Chain A
């Protein structure tokens, strides 16, 4: 008997039963097996898992048809208190963002103890011993201290280990992992995936792993279910799905995954330096009166050049200082020392007022397209605001906005609409159009495609390349994703703890890394042995 058997599950909007978000899916997971549920945003993969746990948001979604059998018992027939009993004891869940998934005001040890207090009659001493044993099992150091810590005092990887300890402390039969490594750095991701695998083997847990990342799928899955817009598109053994997908959707999904094999750098056509950064330093936290003098060197002696028409990538994990460099270049924060030259002119020491003429030449695209456009302004108003501020007549600016929207692949008629009427990918195109409206020489893209689904991601990357060829703009591309960097950048700088450890042509840095950190990053990239776009293993 399978551990979990989801049969013909339908989920609909609570008030309108005809508005279905899941149209009858069937999923089966056996003990000790890892099943990946993959799909892009809106595919319904998270909703399916929440339905299984009985955690669908009350009043907005409900199961309308089907059965969810856990060890043969239909969870949909249980009373709320019976369902509560099954949680954590028979089925558990871990979530995407371990920072927000843990209660910030309760010590992590107590948060794990709570599971035992709710479901067992162990004494305080036994509870404590069990928690410590579990913390040991998830590979945390100095467990007594960690148990007394609050979530914000731990790193992202440690927090996810705590979540795993909490989920597995009662040895449930089923573990649902909803994008558990998406918010983590690649090296941490690798460790967490390994840990889940180890504990699964030890306890024989069935794992339902929800992810959008084909690399992770290639790394861990036994079997794969592909979902799209509430439908189950295809399912099968991982090898079969990756090498010979039967459905068009799956094929397209796989071909959109950017390859880790770097593309060749384009020849330098223009000699003009768009950006020159020399020995840039940024130190945070100068000690004040009676306060602790603790400083952080967020960027240390960072130097690079970027010529017009080329793309320089800055890659690194969280806290590497890549965003700090981008913000210094944009002069959103003031560098502590060092030079930033834009088109040959020094801007690092300029005042707000002196900076004004330069703002036009530097534009930025941000990570989250849902929050970077003002929801109260039509997209036309957002696009023309900058040019009008710099003296373009509104009428001319509006005409230009229409052209720009067409350039980024949206109809000019979209101009009068508001941001919420667009999808994430469309919004990112709008954000790019807004940046281009200023006719900048340098575009800084800070994780500009990280929040997008792979198919949309590849479109936006193509768009950037196309615009670059047409306008000769220079792009500073900040990303944590080596796959994206390999495909869009001519040159790459690898940063760690505020320092550039390796810099050069992308083909050299990612193709033949010299620094051990770059090597570690590459070896941690999930699915590095699989060439997704060609449905076969990477040729050695």
Chain B
């Protein structure tokens, strides 16, 4: 296992390097002068020359790349063109709200969806099963902003139980954080609950016809034990995949939900910097997102071998 881990981490290096090259070329290969892109439409020739000099654009491209990578490795992602703050600070600020919401969403989804899927599979064809499946279709098909505004209307405006929108860091105000995180997490969870419940049901249905489930029943075990100990663990690998990818998607930003609830997260930062052509920030965000994908994929693969001893690398 440690060898496998080392191998996977080593294998991630070339992947990240390819992403880095792509991100580096993003500025250099776009038509026109990067300095002109950075400086905007109203720049004077002197300003352009100054930007070229600070960016080192007059050096050979390889030298520029090595210098850029070197800076990255020291945590220097450049400076935002709009706010003039270091990119790393900007992204770090916006990262936490997104991570918190994503964690709460995924936890909530798993807690609700897995038992739902198990019961639906166990009682296949019954009214419980139909109810779960109907909920799944709804969760998939209703747009996120509709669910979002609906929840706001009911819980924030009509019942006044929760604030309408905004964000507070849990370190400063835990109650404030919790009350503001509930609705966005619920909104996002509706899709993931639908997805995970469906996946659990489908994958459990396959497993329930297996011989070892019959053996478990022949041993005189209770149905709960048959379902959760014998069937669910064997059905878990595809479910883990959905959970993992879901988490990665949540981290890379959920623009609509962040906009609806006015949360200062990565999704909105991404959209804002694209509109403002804030290239250093976009570069950092692409690197961060691909890094998260690589990490989550590694974690998913590791979880496979924990769930199923036959999977060894």
Contacts and interface: CB of A to CB of B under 8 A. Distances in A.
Interface of A: 53, 55, 59, 84-89, 92-93, 95, 97, 100-106, 114-115, 118-119, 150, 152, 163, 166, 290
15 contacts: A55-B217, A84-B220, A87-B217, A89-B220, A95-B214, A95-B215, A100-B210, A103-B215, A104-B212, A104-B309, A105-B309, A105-B310, A150-B309, A152-B310, A163-B215
B212 A118 contact: no
B49 to A, nearest CB: 49
Contact of B308 (A101, A102, A104, A118): A104
Give the 10 A-B residue pairs with the shortest CB-CB distance, closest first.
A87-B220, A100-B211, A103-B212, A101-B211, A88-B220, A84-B220, A150-B309, A93-B218, A101-B215, A88-B219
Interface in B299-313: 307-310
A118 B220 contact: yes
Contact of A119 (B7, B216, B217, B220): B220
B310 A104 contact: yes
Contacts of B309: 104-105, 150, 152
A87 B219 contact: yes
Nearest to B234: A105
Contacts of A152: 309-310
B222 A118 contact: yes
Given A88-B219, A95-B211, 12 more contacts: A59-B125, A84-B220, A84-B222, A86-B220, A88-B220, A100-B210, A102-B212, A105-B308, A115-B219, A115-B220, A119-B220, A166-B219
Interface string B220-255: 111001000110011000000000000000000000
Interface residues of B, number: 24
A326 B51 CA distance: 70
B66 interface: no
Contact of A105 (B216, B219, B307): B307
B146 to A, nearest CB: 38
Nearest to B309: A150
Chain B interface secondary structure, helix, strand, loop or mixed? helix
Contacts of B307: 105
Contacts of A55: 214, 217-218
A275 B234 CA distance: 46
A306 B220 CA distance: 54
Contacts of B3: 290
Contacts of B215: 95, 101-103, 163, 166
A95 B221 CA distance: 17
Contacts of B210: 100
Contacts, number: 72
Interface in B260-313: 307-310
Contacts of B234: 103-105
Nearest to A119: B220
Nearest to A100: B211
A59 B229 CA distance: 23
B217 A290 contact: no
Which of B215, B220, B309 has the most C-beta atoms of chain A within 10 angstroms of its own C-beta? Answer: B220
Nearest to B210: A100
A447 to B, nearest CB: 21
B213 to A, nearest CB: 8
A106 B221 CA distance: 15
A163 B233 CA distance: 20
Contacts of B229: 106
Nearest to B217: A55
Contacts of B310: 104-105, 150, 152
A403 to B, nearest CB: 41
B221 A101 contact: no
Contacts of A89: 220
A166 B222 CA distance: 17
A220 B211 CA distance: 26
Contact of A85 (B217, B218, B220): B220
A55 B216 CA distance: 11
Given A150-B309, A290-B3, A290-B7, A101 B220 contact: no
Contacts of A104: 212, 234, 308-310
A52 to B, nearest CB: 11
Nearest to B220: A87
B216 A87 contact: no
Interface in B1-51: 3, 7
A498 B308 CA distance: 31
Contacts of A100: 210-212
Contacts of A87: 217-220
A366 B152 CA distance: 62
A540 B48 CA distance: 106
Nearest to B237: A105
Most buried by B among A86, A92, A104: A104
B234 to A, nearest CB: 6
A100 B215 CA distance: 9
Contacts of A114: 219, 221, 225
Contacts of B220: 84-89, 115, 118-119
A46 B233 CA distance: 28
B221 A118 contact: yes
Contacts of B230: 103, 106
Interface string B166-184: 0000000000000000000
B4 to A, nearest CB: 9
A283 to B, nearest CB: 21
B82 to A, nearest CB: 46
A97 B211 contact: yes
A166 B57 CA distance: 74
B308 A84 contact: no
Nearest to B233: A105
Contacts of A84: 220-222
A92 B308 CA distance: 27
Interface centre among B211, B222, B225, B233 (most CB of A within 10 A): B211
B302 to A, nearest CB: 16
Nearest to B218: A93
A444 to B, nearest CB: 31
Interface-central residue, A55, A85, A97, by most chain B CB under 10 Å: A55
Contacts of B212: 100-104
A290 B5 CA distance: 12
